[in-house]
Amino acid sequence: MWCRNRPQPARCPASRLSEAATSIAWLALFCLGSPPAAADGIAPGEWKLTETIVMNGNKTPAQTRTRCLSAEQAGDTAATFSPEYRTINSGCERVEFNSSATALRWRIQCAGQMDMDVAGDFTFDTPTHYSATIVSKGAMAGREVVNTTVSIEGEHVGECR
């Protein structure tokens, strides 16, 4: 039974809340897992990504990792930075999508046991730098239970190793 159909949100099992929060976190991380893409000159090669996560008001220490961007991946910003929302949940719909040579913005809304709203905003300001923010919100029975913001700074550091 869907928790939002119950008379009181407190009756929703904690495990379902945990599963729903995990789904939102995986969606945000899926977006992060995609290597940087090209937008009118974004360079292929090795990129250093610095990621900061704020979940329900709690900020995590910045984490740094590297990703290799192939020339093919550098050629399609929209495909590389947009999640495959249909594979996440059949109740998801892309409600916003705008792509240009220097920016990408998308938003996905999912309805179900936990309603989710996930938005990505990417700015490709030079061939060797980009910044992004992914905001994920989840609500059960009309009450927000998860609010996560992932901030990303991408810096080109050279050829892939």
Domain boundaries of the chain, sorted by first residue: 3-158
Q: What is the pLDDT of residues 89-115, one digit of tens each?
A: 678 999 999 998 899 999 999 998 899
Q: What is the pLDDT of residues 24-71, one digit of tens each?
A: 444 444 444 443 343 356 889 999 999 999 999 999 999 999 999 888
State both tokens at 62.
Answer: 């910045």
Residue with tokens 């192939």: 70
Structural contact between residues 83 and 26, judged by C-beta atoms closer than 8 angstroms: no
- Between CA 94 and CA 129 the distance in angstroms is 27
Q: What is the CA radius of gyration of the chain?
A: 17
- Between CA 138 and CA 117 the distance in angstroms is 6
Structural contact between residues 132 and 121, judged by C-beta atoms closer than 8 angstroms: yes
pTM (predicted TM-score): 0.73
